[in-house]
Amino acid sequence: MTAPTLAPTSTPAPVRIPAARRSYGAVLAGAVLGLVVLAALLAPLIAPYAPDAIDLSASLAGTTGDHLLGTDSSGQDLLSRVLYGARTSLVAPALLLAIAAVLGIALGTLAAWRGGWADTVVSRLTDVMYAFPGLLFTVLIIAVFGAGMTTSVLALGLAYTPTVAKYTRSVAIGERRKPYIDAYRVQG
Mean pLDDT, rounded, of the chain: 89
Q: For residue 17, what pLDDT is reported?
A: 66
pLDDT in tens, 89-136: 999 999 999 999 999 999 999 999 888 999 999 999 999 999 989 899
Segment 23-35 shows an average pLDDT of 91
Q: What is the pLDDT of residue 10?
A: 66
pLDDT of residue 19: 62
pLDDT at site 173: 92
One-letter-per-residue 3-state SS of the chain: CCCCCCCCCCCCCCCCCCHHHCCHHHHHHHHHHHHHHHHHHCHHHHCCCCCCCCCHHHCCCCCCCCCCCCECCCCCEHHHHHHHHHHHHHHHHHHHHHHHHHHHHHHHHHHHHHCHHHHHHHHHHHHHHHHCCHHHHHHHHHHHHCCCHHHHHHHHHHHHHHHHHHHHHHHHHHHHCCHHHHHHHHHC
pTM above threshold 0.85: no
Task: Kindly list the domain boundaries of the chain, sorted by start residue.
Answer: 24-187
